[in-house]
Amino acid sequence: MTTTTTHDAVEPADGEAMYRWAQDLYPLHRSLTGPGVRATLDYLRGLLPGLGVHEVPSGTPAFDWTVPDEWTLRDAYVEDVAGQRVIDVRRHNLHVVGYSAPVDRWVSREELDAHLHSLPEMPDAIPYVTSYYERRWGFCVAHRDRVALTANRYRVVIDADLAPGVMNVGELVVPGHSAEEVLLSTNICHPSLANNEVSGLVMLAALARWSAGRSQPRYTHRFLFLPETIGAIWYLSRHADLLRERVVAGYVVTCVGDDRAFSFVPSRAGDTLADRVARNVLRHRATNVTHYSFLDRGSDERQFCGPGIDLPVCSVMRSRYATYPEYHTSLDDLSVISPRGLQGAFDALTACLRALDADAVYRTTVRCEPQLGRRGLYATLSDGRSALAPRPLLDLLAYADGTRDLVALADTVGMDVLDAADHLRLLGEHGLVTQTS
Amino acid sequence: MTTTTTHDAVEPADGEAMYRWAQDLYPLHRSLTGPGVRATLDYLRGLLPGLGVHEVPSGTPAFDWTVPDEWTLRDAYVEDVAGQRVIDVRRHNLHVVGYSAPVDRWVSREELDAHLHSLPEMPDAIPYVTSYYERRWGFCVAHRDRVALTANRYRVVIDADLAPGVMNVGELVVPGHSAEEVLLSTNICHPSLANNEVSGLVMLAALARWSAGRSQPRYTHRFLFLPETIGAIWYLSRHADLLRERVVAGYVVTCVGDDRAFSFVPSRAGDTLADRVARNVLRHRATNVTHYSFLDRGSDERQFCGPGIDLPVCSVMRSRYATYPEYHTSLDDLSVISPRGLQGAFDALTACLRALDADAVYRTTVRCEPQLGRRGLYATLSDGRSALAPRPLLDLLAYADGTRDLVALADTVGMDVLDAADHLRLLGEHGLVTQTS
Amino acid sequence: MTTTTTHDAVEPADGEAMYRWAQDLYPLHRSLTGPGVRATLDYLRGLLPGLGVHEVPSGTPAFDWTVPDEWTLRDAYVEDVAGQRVIDVRRHNLHVVGYSAPVDRWVSREELDAHLHSLPEMPDAIPYVTSYYERRWGFCVAHRDRVALTANRYRVVIDADLAPGVMNVGELVVPGHSAEEVLLSTNICHPSLANNEVSGLVMLAALARWSAGRSQPRYTHRFLFLPETIGAIWYLSRHADLLRERVVAGYVVTCVGDDRAFSFVPSRAGDTLADRVARNVLRHRATNVTHYSFLDRGSDERQFCGPGIDLPVCSVMRSRYATYPEYHTSLDDLSVISPRGLQGAFDALTACLRALDADAVYRTTVRCEPQLGRRGLYATLSDGRSALAPRPLLDLLAYADGTRDLVALADTVGMDVLDAADHLRLLGEHGLVTQTS
């Protein structure tokens, strides 16, 4: 019996390369819109030559929403009477509240304080704060630094434009033999946050490069780089019906860089092909997996799975957003993610994509068990004291009755979905199973 | 966000008032038929002016049964040769076996003993015994008193009529906008038993008064005061088909007065609207809830849920019949029930009725999430580190897809059904959900 | 109330008689084919006069298989230069590898060793080894004896024919009133293995004798004595479509002789009538039951339940094959099985067969509960403090709504299926239930 196991045959995703890309992308000052987003997409275009970039004008309606003005930040700081910058966005992108309106004046300590954000319970962390849809200005600081601001007056400067412009969305389609497709998305709006942003960017780039190298690409893969929420809503407002027709499975790719855990958030329906494949892969190929509910959702699956959209999209993550201590603070830096963490998520996600490409409904071609022995698939000398061997082939044959797709068949017999695909390929070569769909 | 929570907005049911009614009703000598039942219904008519009283002649056939003769008890006692009453129904209604035939003669101690009932394991309790369908006479005594009966001869006197008359059934219909209705029933046949009878009487009266005060009464409420078993069977023999057409949910109301526990006995089908509403209410608004099976049934749900009747009727109780130590003995007296116990059951039952009146299937009107921020339903400053807020509104919007009724929607998102109704009302005011049925 | 409980009314299966038959059958040298199989069938014909024996020529195709040559073994031994038999099939049938090709020559110790099979971890056990479909020769020995073979040369003699002949299959049909049937099968190919062969032979004989004595035989019973795998496949290749039309339930009968446990392997579908009946019987009438998955299958249910065959066949066993320490070794001898072990399996299997013969869908004839008291089915004096009595009758009436077959009805009310049948018979005599199918 010469079954090729696939456990060690995963295509080499270079966790080290992904980590280097992350180092390049981490410092860029992304937001919903603006030059940081474009710099990010420019960098990604270097990795993905075919990457297209949409420009959506401010004011464009999208379902219940409107694309906001573009935010261009040039500088942001608080200085004291001595001209010393006590808070300076050049030291950390998170120091300024995202989408802050321009300001330049002297304020009392009390007024300044009303515009400061910090986390008393995490005195060293700068929080991540935005105000996209209400004009405000503000600064974020480590609580330890905030309490040291004891002068009476400070000058607050936010040198920014908040004016009609564009929102950018990146998109890359890797065609397969089928027009049916798998949707993969990540966000491009978080400034200098490693696990909850940059890991997704480099993962989607790595997956797209891997996808383009598939030797027998079945499904078309659509990769979307979206400003969270408004980007997804705008994209769906244009393409929801097409996606509903074509998308067989999808994964929101975020928080895929640390090495502490795996996490799964199912689709709203909960048992789509995407969910079932992901659960099988995580069961057989991952450790320390936490299964969440769709009620624990937090990224663009909120839009992809919403009523009237209902795409089969779920999330395979490492440590889930809102659960790890560094989340949405300056502590979510490059030390949180690692080549090994990225590699683990890449392996799980490519296993899902490979399982989807291998999906089929199988039917055994013979009645009763076939004689595996004369085909070299079974030991001809029966001295085993086990009930049945070789279990995997016989179990697959027993349940390949034309009612189960690949992952359902693998789940029924308790196998890894890609192992099942390999075994079924072998059985197919011997004429013992056929694909019925 | 200005959601009105309903947890503390329960209409004031006066547990104290219910308890006072119970004090009045407890001493009346109820049985399947007779003056004690009529006295009970007279008292209830004082609380419920519209209460109707049926008079069903003895001998009336009802499915497999026949309405029995009416029992009129004037006196019942055992006296010794000194003329001393050693057992006397004037001291406790339970001293005489229900439906005892008349007797007046001297008997030996042995013969007397064959007609006595006591509980050796509960020497202070007088048991509750009846013989409705076989003519017998008998007395019930505390075992402690029974063993003191050592004389050789006793006179046994039961001054009663057991003759053709009527069986009485009380009925009150509180109309709603809809002809569809909710059925509520209790029993009027147990003499001087507090939790397993009187609590149900005063609860049904309190619920009917509350029902009549509803500002937007949707469902019609039908309140039935029934002699157990035969009363329910007679009523169903006349109205089963009408009820099958109209009843959307129902609750048998018994054992609703003590403060030790909540109990739930589902309908035979197990997952009717009545069951699902009750389970949600008990999950979110009660503590110490025991969930039983329909196999643990014991009151008129035996008839309401029987084959060929199949009404969606279940039971929300405090301590269930046959489970608490005082059950069916003289110890089930007014000390077992309390204003607080009655109030707790009233709150749970009115929550069920309010949830039923609020029931609807909701559908979100927008595709993707709506922009809650510009409607004042969402903090415009995102500094939270939680995955998604405000969860309740977004969760309801995510699952309001036209496939779930109110309680299913509340269950899906893990909310109290009345809280869900309030949140959905708010979303409806903003045009974000509509009712589809 | 005069319900006849059936718990103690099991027809006397004579575990002692079965054990004596087992003593007779144990020494015969069975294999897939050959004189040992015929001697076995001859013996069984003594117990079952109507037993038919098929003769299937070698080379007959059967689905993916071909019936192999017949194996006739006359002698097999290894002798040393002194002419001493160091291994001798006359001492134990397991000493020769099943289907060994003829050989007679002197071999070196090394060559001999390559043809020996032993179990180092069980040094006293002779393993059971076969090579049906690849020509080999070999001997099986206790490991303790193997290590004592230290001479340089040995003569190996297997005096056998491996040549075209026949494969034998035994079959007995006990007709019932219905042409629908229950299938029961066991194997006739294991030499001198007690629990995993002989117990099945004597059990099938006992069941067939019991079946022929049924007073009201409803289902036809088909008993098959099959060489494992190839025998079942050949039989199905001829009769699968007929069986698919007629078989309502079936049981593979193997490993039914020891007294340590009960085991259940479900059918592939998992919830057929055969499965449901067996689970009810084991729940109420057996102790120490292990429930396995169809993935743990190991006997002819592999063929009966295979894709394209899909018969409702499961296995009720004592200690399951491949789980008990003596399995497939010389230690699986007559000391492993016992009259008590055989009797226990017989009781369980006849309970299944009786439950199948009693199967029907019941419907209560009255609406609401009937008045059991006037029929003598209910105590007319209600002094119980239990919620509902007599539970069994009322529970059956409550759920006999025309939607459940006998075992589903019994399962719903938590009763033994044969007790339920007795209670329903009583209710039927009183006109309170009818059979709707």
> pLDDT by residue (tens digit) across A356-396?
999 999 999 999 999 998 898 876 666 555 444 578 899 99
> pTM (2 decimals)?
0.92
Please give the backbone phi and psi of residue C277, each rounded to the nearest 5 degrees, phi first.
-65, -45
User: Helix (H, G, I), strand (E, B), or coil: what is residue B381?
Assistant: coil
Contact A367 C127 (CB under 8 A): no
- In whole angstroms, give the CA distance from residue A342 to residue A18: 7
Q: Rounded mean pLDDT of chain A?
A: 94
Closest residue in B to C411 (Cα–Cα): B295
Of C387, C398, C413, the CB nearest to B306: C398
Q: How far is B321 from chain C (nearest CA, A)?
A: 7
Confidence class for position A1, pLDDT limits 50, 70, 90: very low
Q: What is the amino acid identity at position C271?
A: D
Chains touching B (at least 3 CB pairs under 8 A) are A, C
Of B386, B398, B402, the CB nearest to A268: B398
Phi-psi region of A368 (alpha: psi -120 to 50; beta: other; left: phi over 0): left
State both tokens at C324.
């008990």
Residue with tokens 């009878």: B197
Helix orientation angle between C391-399 and C406-413, rounded to the nearest 10 degrees? 130
Q: Given pLDDT bands bounded at 50, 70 and 90, which one contains residue A3? A: very low
Selected residue of A364, A368, A433 to mutate for chain C interface (largest C Cβ count, 10 A): A368
| Minimal-distance CA residue of chain A relative to C61 | A371
**What distance in Å separates residue A26's CA from the closest CA in chain B?**
20
pLDDT of B181: 98
Q: Which residues of A touch C117 (CB under 8 A)?
A: 383
Q: How far is CA A414 from CA A401, A407, A408, A409, B359, in A?
A: 16, 10, 10, 8, 42
Residue of C nearest to B99 (CA): C381
In chain C, the percentage of residues whose pLDDT exceeds 90 is 91
| Cβ within 8 Å, pair A368-C63 | yes
Residue among A384, A387, A389, A391 at smallest CA distance from C298: A387
Q: Which residues of B touch C403 (CB under 8 A)?
A: none
**Chains touching A, CB cut-off 8 Å, 3+ pairs:** B, C
In chain C, residues with a C-beta closer than 8 Å to the C-beta of A395 are 295
- Contact list, C367 vs chain B (CB under 8 Å): 63, 236-237, 240, 306-309
- For residue range C16-28, list pLDDT tens digits in order: 999 999 999 999 9
Chain A environment of C296 (Cβ under 8 Å): 387
Give the CA-trace dihedral at A267, A272, A275, A278, to 10 degrees: -150
Cβ atoms within 10 A of the Cβ of C385, count? 15
| Sequence-distant (≥ 6) Cβ neighbours of residue B95 within 8 angstroms | B76, B87, B88, B89, B126, B139, B140, B141
Q: Looking at residues C263-285, what average pLDDT do you find?
A: 98
* Contact between A393 and A427 (Cβ < 8 Å): yes
Whether the CB-CB separation of C191 and C98 falls below 8 Å is answered with yes
Residue A129: which pLDDT band, with cuts at 50, 70 and 90? very high
Instruction: From chain A, pick out residues whose CB is under 8 angstroms from the CB of C308.
Output: 364, 366-368, 401
DSSP track, B14-61: -HHHHHHHHHHHTTS---SSSHHHHHHHHHHHHH-TT-EEEEEETT-E
User: Per the CB < 8 Å rule, is B64 touching C399?
Assistant: no
Of A395, A350, A422, A418, nearest in space to A14 by CA = A350
Q: Write out chain A residues lying below 8 Å of B409, CB-based.
A: none
Look at residue C271 and tell me whether its pLDDT is greater than 80.
yes
Q: Which residues of B396-421 are buried (b: 16+ CB within 10 A; e: fewer)?
A: bbbbbbeebbbbbbbbbbebbbbbbb
Give the pairing of strands C116-117 and C166-174.
Answer: unpaired
Cβ separation C237–A368 shorter than 8 A: yes
- pLDDT, one tens digit per residue, over C386-410 is 444 578 899 999 999 999 999 999 9
Nearest to A328 among B385, B391, B400 (CB): B385
Residue to substitute from B295, B313, B328, interface C, most C β-carbons within 10 A: B295
Residues of chain A neighbouring C302 (CB-CB closer than 8 A): 368-369, 388, 394, 398
Q: Tell if the CB–CB gap between B295 and C366 is shorter than 8 Å.
A: no
C388 with B297: Cβ contact below 8 A: yes
Q: What is the pLDDT of residue A425?
A: 94
Contact indicator for C192, C58 with CB cutoff of 8 Å: no
Interface of C with B (CB under 8 A): 363-364, 366-371, 373-374, 380-383, 385-388, 391, 394-395, 397-402, 413-414
- Mean pLDDT over C146-175 rounds to 97
**Does the distance separating the beta carbons of C400 and B307 come in below 8 Å?**
yes
**Chain A contact probe: residue of C133, C143, C252 with most A CBs at under 10 A:** C133
Q: Do A64 and B369 touch (CB under 8 A)?
A: yes
User: B207: distance to nearest CA of chain C, Å?
Assistant: 25
d(C-alpha A280, C-alpha A351), whole Å: 10
Q: Give, for all 437 residues of chain B, the pLDDT tens digit.
A: 333 333 333 344 599 999 999 999 999 999 999 999 999 999 999 999 999 999 999 999 999 999 999 999 999 999 999 999 999 999 999 999 999 999 999 999 999 999 999 999 999 999 999 999 999 999 999 999 999 999 999 999 999 999 999 999 999 999 999 999 999 999 999 999 999 999 999 999 999 999 999 999 999 999 999 999 999 999 999 999 999 999 999 999 999 999 999 999 999 999 999 999 999 999 999 999 999 999 999 999 999 999 889 999 999 999 999 999 999 999 999 999 999 999 999 999 999 999 999 999 999 999 999 999 889 887 666 655 544 457 889 999 999 999 999 999 999 999 999 999 999 999 999 999 999 86
Interchain CB distance below 8 Å, C322 and A366:
no
Nearest to B118 by CA among B99, B80, B92, B83: B92
pLDDT for position C436: 87
C377: pLDDT confidence band, cut at 50, 70 and 90?
confident
User: Please, what is the average pLDDT of chain C?
Assistant: 94
Tokens of A238: 């244009």
Across the interface, whether the CB atoms of B64 and C368 are under 8 A apart is answered yes
pLDDT value at C382 more than 90: no
Task: Please tell me the predicted confidence (pLDDT) of residue B387.
Answer: 42
pLDDT interval class at A13 (50, 70, 90): low
> For the residues A166-180, what does the mean pLDDT come to?
98
Q: Do C309 and A367 touch (CB under 8 A)?
A: yes
CA pair distance C409, C416, nearest whole angstrom: 10
Residue A231, φ and ψ in degrees, nearest 5: -65, -45
CB-CB under 8 Å, A371 with C65 = yes
Option in C381, C382, C385 nearest B327 (CB): C385
**ipTM above 0.85 for this complex:** yes
Answer whether B236 sits within 8 Å of C368, measured CB to CB. Answer: yes
The whole-number pLDDT of residue C74 equals 97
* Cα distance between residue C396 and residue C125, in whole Å: 53
Picking from A368, A373, A399, the nearest residue to C236 by CB comes out as A368
C397 and B307 within 8 Å at the Cβ level: the answer is yes
* Nearest beta carbon to residue B368 from set A236, A298, A322: A236
Place of tokens 């057409």: B245
Type of residue at A208:
A
Look at A382 and C131 and tell me if their CB atoms are within 8 Å: yes
- Touching subunits for chain C (3+ Cβ pairs under 8 A): A, B
Verify whether the Cβ–Cβ distance B398 to A303 is below 8 Å. no
